[in-house]
Each structure stands twice: as C-alpha cells, then as structure tokens.
Amino acid sequence: MKRILSRLSSPIVAALLIFVLGSAVTFLSWRSSVDQSEQSNSTTIKAGTLDFAKRFEGRLVAYSDVLTNITVEAAKNGMTRESFNQSIDSLDVKNSYPSLDSFGYVQIVKPNQVSALKQKLIAEGRPSFDILPSGNRDEYTPLIYAKSLYNPDNAEQLVGYDLSVDESFDQLLEAIRQTQEVRASGPLSITDPNGQIQSGVALLAPVISTVDGENEVTGFMYATVRIESLSDLLKPNDVLQVAISIYSGDRPSENSVIYGEYNEPDSQSNMTKQVSVAGRTFTVQGSSTVPSQDKSDSAQQWLILALGIITSALLALFLLYVIRNKELEIDLRKTIDVQKAKENLLSLASHQLRTPATGVKQYLGLVLDGYAGTITMEQREMLEKANESNERQLSIVNQILKISKLENKRISLILTLTDPVELTLDVISEQGALLENKKINVVSPPKPILVALDVTYFRMVIENLINNAAKYSHDGAQITVSFAVDDGNFLMRVQDTGIGIDASDFDTLFEAFTRIDNEFSFSVSGTGIGLYIEKMIVDLHEGTIDVESEVGVGTTFIVSIPILSELSEQENTQ
C-alpha cells in the first residue's frame, strides 16, 4: 500500500493523472457539447414542426368551416349568382384568408334539370352557359359559379366544366357524397397573385339538401388553397432555425412535395408529423436550418478535441515542471539546511575543541615564561612536553576542521599574484628546529615567477612538503626546493634524500588518515592527513601533485599549478 501511495505521489504519475483526467474531461465535454447541440437542435426541430403542423391543420379546418357555412346557407336558401358573390365578398378573403385563391359552386345536375339550370343562368346574365364536355351522362357536376380573387378570367373560363369528367375529382366528389363531409383534393397547380405556379389543394364542402325526406348532396362548394402562401404565412421565424416541408401523403417523398424542399428522413436532422384534414393526409417535415455536420465540421470537432488533449498534455507537463522544480527547491533547501546545520556544528565544535586547549596553552606559557616564579629545568622539560602535546592536539583539531571545510567545499581561495620562491623562503624561516641537521636548498627559477595562489592555503602545502621531507630524512639529508614554468604550468619540486616511499604505497599516499609504514612511523608524529589536505588544496588551485620516489634514495613531490592569470603570464614573460 505504501509503495502504491509512494508511486502515486511521484510527479510523473501525478502529471499522467492530470493528463488523463484532462483528456477525459475534454472528451466528455466535447461529447456532451455535441450531444447537447444535437439535442437542442432536435428539440427546436420538434417544437417548430409540431407548432407548424398544428397551425396548418387549424387553418385548413377553419377554411373547411368557412365553406361549410356557405354550403349550409346554400342548402337552406339555394345558391344564386348573387348569393354566391355575396358569400365570398363577405369573407373579406384577401385580408382574412389570404391563402385562399378561388371559390366555386358545383351543382349536381340530372339530365332533366339541365334545361332549367340554363334558364336560370341566362336570367342571371350568363347566356352562353353550357356544360362541358357535352354529351349524355347520367348526371352532371358542372361548375356553376366561380370566383377567383386574383385571376378572375381563369375562373370564368372554368364555369360549365363538369368536374366528374376528371376521374380523381369524380372519386373525390363521390367520397364527399358518401361521407357528406368536407374533402380535400390532391395537389393542384395554382397561379399565385405574382403569376407564379405553386402547389395547392382544393377543399370541397357538400351542399346537403333534404330531398324526399333524405339528406342528399346536391352540390359542392369549393375553395382552392395556395399551400405555399399558407405555409409561408405559418412557417416558424428564422430564429427558430427550422425549415418546413409539406408532403401530400403520409410520408416524405420526392414526388409528393407540395411545399419546401425534400429532405431524406433523418431522426438527427428532421422530424415529421402527419396532419389529417378533410380526409387527406399531409406530412409536415421540420428540418434544422443549421447546416448539418459535414466533413469540415467533423474535422473542426476533432480539431477541438485534439486541442483539448494537447492542452491537457501541456498542463500536465507544466505541472510536472512545477512539481519537479518545487521538489528540487525543497531538496536544495534541505541540503542547505543540512549543510547549514553541519556548518553550525562544525563551527561550534571548532570553538569548543579549541577553547580548553587555549586555556592550557596560556597557562603553560605563563608558567614557562616565569609568571609563576622560577621553575626548575626538570619542571621546564615536563611543562614543554605538556605544551607540545597541547600544540599537537590543537594542530590535529585545526587539521580536522580544515579537512572538513575542504571536503564540504566551504573554502573559497583568495588568489593573489605571489612569488612562490619568497613564500617558500618565508615558510622555511619559520620551521626552525625542524630543519636543524638538514640541508635545505632553494633553487630559484631563471626568471621570477608570479603565480595566482591563495597564500594562506598554499603556505600549508609548502609547509607540509618541507616538513615531510625533513621528518622522513636522516640527519644531513638534502632537501631541495626548485621552481620552473613548463607549458603554462608553474612547477614546484620538493626533493629529499630521505628514506623514500615504496611504489606500492603511492595509491594510498594521499588518502586521509593513512600513514605509510616505515622506519620513522613510530618516532615521527603525524595524523596521516597532511598529504590529503595538500592534495585538496592543490586541487582547489586546479593543479596536480605527483610523487616520484625510490626506497633508500629519496622522494620528490611535484606540484603543478596552471598559470591562469593573464597578469601572471605577462609578468612571467617580462
């Protein structure tokens, strides 16, 4: 469990989770948006279609009722030219029923009634009335009166025409006679007020009279409806983004369009509603006017999805970057805190280790210097030994603290142009008793050399090299310190004729707390960290320290420091 939690807390895992979540949210939002859009579209289509269908049906029913009222009057009082015109005029069609185009009265006429009909029509001012086509038929259903509000001549031309000659009309009239209800015809072509041909239907209402005690259809009243004009009047406004198509029949087909465009039925982009009025079924189809998703839209949606995923990836990467930076910052702060704690401990340790030894040093010094009175030789010897031990202890403390600083890279060299020969001579002058019985020779270079050195630390290197040369040599041994410049490097050689170092010990020579076993191991004091410190100081100067030695012959330490300073080079070439 811990491992799982640990893995989950990894920045990469967190970033991956963000990416996955972001992508999932993007996808779901995109999908939801698409669905919502489609649903919204569907809802709009549905609302627009149903609303139109309802109003369309309502209008046709209203027209049917208007005709029925006229037929009731006609049945009661009979239809004359005058009453026909009055009935139509009273409707104020142009204002109240602008989609109604023409009206007509058709009468069922038996052969033996034709003569009386003609007489009647002649009296009404139609002397040339005749039933067309002529010929003997069992009965006739001629158009007796006609009125077109927009094409009066056309209407007049139709007067006398026997509708039953047309098979479809004959069937329609027969259906009306059977049901005694208003019926609508199939699609007609009607010339609209602008002279354009549009689809329409005719509504026919029966004139029902009582003949021999029986209700009998004696005629028909019709009105033609311009479907396009009616639909334009009723169609949803553009805001709703629904286009209406009307088909004659119970399903959309290319051949049955009477209004609008044919649209392949598609539950996503359109819906249909059947409207049955006056015995005829119409199909109202609502379609979205919003362009259907084509390839470019699909591509756009995929592009949006891709952008969402890319954004999620970028967000995840950004999060990863922030978390990693934060982790690094925390690690760094921890490291700094640890380092600070170590430094504080070191600082405290240095002070605490040195202070008691300082007290011993002062009081031994006071006694040795006679502050407590005269001391015997024996007392002096003992006190000096105590002093030496104390000095050794202080030296060890100082060296350990130096190592610690060097290892923790707390040392920053302060480089100054230095004459290494002068520095060496100064160090030699301070060695005092250590160099007694040794012959020390400093070989100056042909020309003075100035090298960028940290005097304080490089002094330690020189001190240690000379001390080691002296400590590991017998009395009378020769110690030679020489200097040179070679290929951009300052070279210092400290050569002795001491006991030498076995080649097998070269590898461990510069390790901390390592002393080589030799004849001087017990007699010569040392902590085994002198060369270790030296190497670190030389490394800080970006130099190298090497050793050449032969047991019984002597040892040479070669320190090489790059002459990095331009000034050093200028000075050295003058």
Partner 1 sequence: MNTQDQKILIVEDDHDLNNAYCLILAREGYEVASVADGKEGVERLNDFEPDLILLDLRMPNLDGIGFLKESSVTTRYPNAVIIVFTNFDENDEIALAFELGASRYVLKSSVSPRDLVKLVHDELDPAS
Q: Which residues bind partner 1 (CB under 8 A)?
A: 347, 350-351, 354-355, 357-359, 361-363, 365-366, 369, 371, 394, 397-398, 401
Neighbours of 307 (CB within 10 A): 11
- Strand 544-550 vs strand 478-486: parallel, antiparallel, or unpaired? unpaired
Structure tokens at 403: 């190592």
Measured from the CB of residue 541, what is the shortest distance to partner 1 in angstroms? 19
- Chain mean position to CA 282: 51
Q: What are phi and psi of 287, to 5 degrees?
A: -130, 150
Nearest distance from C-beta of residue 440 to partner 1, angstroms: 24
Least Å from the CB of residue 353 to partner 1: 8
Nearer to partner 1, 334 or 351 (CB): 351
User: Which of 38/391 has CB closer to partner 1?
Assistant: 391
Contacts of 314 (CB under 8 A, 6+ apart): none
Q: What are the two backbone dihedrals, phi and then psi, of residue 371, each rounded to the nearest 5 degrees?
A: -70, -20
The Cα–Cα gap between 184 and 176 comes to 10
Q: Which is nearer to partner 1, 360 or 434 (CB)?
A: 360
DSSP string across 78-129:
---HHHHHHHHHHTTHHHH-TTEEEEEEEE-B-GGGHHHHHHHHHHTT-TT-
CB nearer partner 1, residue 387 or residue 467: 387
Nearer to partner 1 among residue 215 and residue 358 (C-beta) = 358
Q: Is 146 helix (H, G, I), strand (E, B) or coil?
A: strand
Reading the block at residue 203, the tokens are: 């509504």
Burial of 243 from C-beta contacts in 10 A (0-12 / 13-18 / 19+): buried
Of 433, 406, 421, 417, residue with least CA distance to 564: 417
Whole-number Cα distances in Å, 231 to 121, 180, 190, 277, 553: 37, 28, 14, 15, 124
Question: Which residue, 327 or 407, is less far from partner 1 as judged by CB?
Answer: 407
Q: Which is nearer to partner 1, 210 or 352 (CB)?
A: 352
The CA-based dihedral angle spanning residues 121, 124, 126, 130, taken in that order and rounded to the nearest 10 degrees: 0
Q: How far is the CB of 571 from partner 1 (least distance, A)?
A: 29
As measured in angstroms, the least distance from the Cβ of 424 to partner 1 is 21
Give the nearest distance from C-beta 329 to partner 1 in angstroms. Answer: 23
Cα 164 to chain centroid distance, Å, stands at 74
Measured from the CB of residue 490, what is the shortest distance to partner 1 in angstroms? 26
Q: What is the C-alpha to C-alpha distance for residues 145 and 82, in angstroms, rounded to an integer?
A: 10
CB of 524 to partner 1, least distance (A): 23
Nearer to partner 1 by Cβ, of 326 and 409: the residue is 409
Distance CA 168, CA 174 (A): 10
Burial of 391 (0-12, 13-18, 19+ CB in 10 A): middle
State the Cα–Cα distance between residues 472 and 526, nearest whole angstrom.
Answer: 11
Amino acid, res. 21: L
Minimum CB separation of residue 362 from partner 1 in Å reads: 4
Cβ-Cβ contacts under 8 Å for 136 (sequence gap 6 or more): 111
Q: Minimum CB separation from partner 1 for residue 332, in Å?
A: 20
The residue among 69 and 350 lying less far from partner 1, judged by its C-beta, is 350
- Give me the torsion for CA of 322, 327, 329, 330, rounded to 10°: 140
Distance from the Cα of residue 41 to its chain's centroid: 28
When the beta carbons of 313 and 396 are compared against partner 1, the nearer one is: 396
Longest dimension (CA), the chain: 181
Cβ proximity to partner 1: between 120 and 405 the closer is 405
Residue 473 CB, shortest distance to partner 1, in Å, is 27
Nearer to partner 1, 192 or 391 (CB): 391
Inter-CA distances, 498 with 196, 492, 511, Å = 130, 18, 21
- Least separation, in Å, of the C-beta of 391 and partner 1? 9
Query: Which residue number, 125 or 370, has a Cβ lying nearer to partner 1?
Result: 370
Work out the end-to-end distance of the chain between its first and last CA atoms, rounded to an integer number of angstroms. Answer: 74
| Least Å from the CB of residue 542 to partner 1 | 21
Q: What minimum distance in Å lies between the beta carbon of 387 and partner 1? A: 8
Pick 298 or 347: Cβ nearer partner 1: 347
